Amino acid sequence: MKRPRTSFVAGLLATGACAASSTPVQAADPLPSWNEGAAKAAIVRFVERTTRSGSPDFVLPAERIAVFDNDGTLWAEQPMYVQLLFMLDRVKTLAPQHPEWKTQEPFASILKGDVRAALAGGEHALVELGMATHAGMTTGEFERTVGEWIATAKHPVTGRPYTEMVYQPMLELLAYLRTNGFKTFIVSGGGIEFMRPWSERVYGVPPEQVIGSSINTKFELRDGKPVLVRLPEISFFDDGPGKPVGIQMHIGRRPIAAFGNSDGDLQMFQWTAAGPRPSFCLYVHHTDADREWAYDRTSSIGRLDKGLDEAKARGWTVVDMKTDWKHVFPFELK
Amino acid sequence: MKRPRTSFVAGLLATGACAASSTPVQAADPLPSWNEGAAKAAIVRFVERTTRSGSPDFVLPAERIAVFDNDGTLWAEQPMYVQLLFMLDRVKTLAPQHPEWKTQEPFASILKGDVRAALAGGEHALVELGMATHAGMTTGEFERTVGEWIATAKHPVTGRPYTEMVYQPMLELLAYLRTNGFKTFIVSGGGIEFMRPWSERVYGVPPEQVIGSSINTKFELRDGKPVLVRLPEISFFDDGPGKPVGIQMHIGRRPIAAFGNSDGDLQMFQWTAAGPRPSFCLYVHHTDADREWAYDRTSSIGRLDKGLDEAKARGWTVVDMKTDWKHVFPFELK
């Protein structure tokens, strides 16, 4: 997504006009933003063979568990993870209460506007940032903070609210699966409490079906009123080999369908594919530098390298965003 | 439940006959095993005012979260927690592979049949027992072990399978709430993976709605096959102040109804009652030494002391098992 804003918008309008002319066909198609092709056909074939009564691959509704990565799978993760952008904004907002941040990294660099220098501290810098912005308040206070931020913050490239930077084809896929009796879960490396305040409204996924990374909380009575205080201690990291662990912890049964976009989803796919029932794994491959971004094997965000090889070896579905998706974002349809 | 087996069975038959004669009335009543009284009236009143369209206290279906403790609330916890009885059986089964247990506590005492001596080691002994019987295998292996045990093990007093030692009035309450759009969760101090293999069949609560204590697991590829290995490390203790923490971790929204029987449920009740919506908290008070057991303030299992005081002070519902429950166990109805 490197085009200047004006041609980007013009492109969207052109796409939107095209979409409007084909409305009647779309009405009957549960996946109207998917071009006809191998990916769409594979999705429909899997859903039909696992849900059609009498099919040898029929799966009981209770066992139709579908898990979705979030960053890069349901919404855009470029030029930075949204939650990192949230942290940067929070550091600026909270800075007046932390005069020490003027000289303390990674905060000092952020306050000077040098994100690259701030993140040069690697994982340690990220954990510092996370704890300073995610801990030390109650769960209720954090939920309100996220809710207010997500309602007002804008994507640095498109100027759109982040909740509009979601993928229209994936919204259709979520709805299509639910219509066919699947229970849809988010399984993300992102913070569980960062997603819950808006996941139901944006994705139709209720808080109890959101799995993510977390910090510890502690029950306290404050003036007789019970609160849960967010502590500066990482409880669970829901990425890579953590994803099957998170799935077992929260769901307690193995998914039959898994959707992701990076090597961080590989173990979730392996776990899904190793079950006794038919299974379906799908990688979203970011190949569209015009409408979105193009990145895979060497990207520091959402690297897809081992996963791409294993997908090819095992016949998992790989979505070529550029050719498989008629539209990328919902605002293209307006 | 101290009566000899024969009079116990005779008592059940008498109760069963009584139940059969009132069948027509029961058909229209969603809570036929509850005697008419304050507890039943309070349950029905709460459900009606939160679900009737146009009621000022109406709660949207998505927010109708109900949480149930398990031990002593949904099934009997006397003369010992069922999971402890599972551990004792497992120690005996695994003993041939552990010759060192002959001299090592708490195992040596268990193998000699002296449970009291084994448990004299307190929490340390319990953790030893838990790790020896719950860790060191894959999640799939543990699930099979629990499934096989629960299908064959018998209650030491009644000789019934443990899954028949559930409370008929609570089964009716679970169903009544679900019929009225509530989502029912178990929130237990017991092991999450100990309950999941049978919770759906016995309570109608699917694995993804079971919250409990847990140990850490680790993803591994064994000969290319992914497994989750159960590690001898406690991950989360879902009791007392841990219950609101577990609720937030797994559900991500506050319940409006909570059901328990001990001080271990008190913080869950406080958390539930402090929400912005109408709420309902109910203690099962074990008052029936004939049909079940009678215990509360001084019991080492399921102590109900502070909770009983707070229930009275705050107007929470307290079920007097002896007078409020027409039947206790489902087998009384047969």
pLDDT at A96: 97
**A102, A94 in Cβ contact below 8 A?**
no
In tens, the pLDDT along B202-227 reads 999 999 999 999 999 999 999 999 99
Cβ contacts (< 8 Å) between B208 and chain A: which residues? 65, 183, 208-209, 250-253
Q: What is d(CA B210, CA A251) in angstroms, rounded to the nearest whole number? A: 9
Q: Which helix (H) or strand (E) holds A319?
A: strand A317-320
pLDDT at B1: 63
Amino acid at B175: A
Q: What is d(CA A75, CA A293) in angstroms, rounded to the nearest whole number? A: 12
pLDDT at A23: 45
Q: Determine the residue of chain B that is closest to A219 in CA distance.
A: B241
Select from A143, A220, A222, A249 the residue whose CB has the most chain B CBs within 10 Å, as the one to mutate to test that interface: A249
pLDDT at B5: 42
Q: Compute φ and ψ for A281, nearest 5 degrees.
A: -125, 135
Select from B139, B143, B249 the residue whose CB has the most chain A CBs within 10 Å, as the one to mutate to test that interface: B249
Cβ contacts (< 8 Å) between A244 and chain B: which residues? 219, 226, 228
What angle, 0 to 180 degrees and rounded to 10, lies between the N-to-C axes of helices A266-273 and A306-314?
20
Cβ contacts (< 8 Å) between A211 and chain B: which residues? none
Whether B10 shows a pLDDT value over 80: the answer reads: no
**B211, B68 in Cβ contact below 8 A?**
no
Percent of chain B at pLDDT > 90 equals 90
pTM: 0.92
Percent of chain B at pLDDT > 70 equals 92
Question: CA of A24 to nearest chain B CA: how many angstroms apart?
Answer: 33
What angle, 0 to 180 degrees and rounded to 10, lies between the N-to-C axes of helices B192-203 and B139-152?
50
Mean pLDDT in residue range B130-153: 97
The side-by-side arrangement of strands in the sheet containing A65-68 is: A225-236, A210-222, A183-191, A65-68, A257-260, A280-285, A317-320
Whether B16 shows a pLDDT value over 80: the answer reads: no
Interchain contact, B217 vs A245, CB within 8 Å:
yes
Q: Which residues contact A175 (CB under 8 A, 6 or more apart)?
A: A30, A204
Q: How many CB atoms lie within 10 A of CB A285?
A: 21
Residue of B157, B176, B164, B188 lying closest to B33 (CA atoms)? B176
**B115, B125 in Cβ contact below 8 A?**
no
Looking up tokens 């219509």 gives: A179
Interchain contact, A228 vs B244, CB within 8 Å:
yes
**A250, B247 in Cβ contact below 8 A?**
no
Q: Determine the residue of chain B that is closest to A229 in CA distance.
A: B245
In tens, the pLDDT along B70-104 reads 999 999 999 999 999 999 999 999 999 999 999 99
Interchain contact, B244 vs A221, CB within 8 Å:
no
Mean pLDDT in residue range B140-168: 98
Interchain contact, B217 vs A271, CB within 8 Å:
no
Whether B11 shows a pLDDT value over 50: the answer reads: no
3-state secondary structure of A15: helix
In tens, the pLDDT along B31-84 reads 999 999 999 999 999 999 999 999 999 999 999 999 999 999 999 999 999 999
Amino acid at A143: E
Q: How many CB atoms lie within 10 A of CB B199?
A: 23
Confidence grade of residue B28 (pLDDT, cut at 50, 70, 90): confident
Whether B17 shows a pLDDT value over 80: the answer reads: no
Q: Determine the residue of chain B that is closest to A193 in CA distance.
A: B252
* pLDDT < 70 stretches in chain A: 1-27
Q: Determine the residue of chain B that is closest to A208 in CA distance.
A: B251
pLDDT at A28: 84
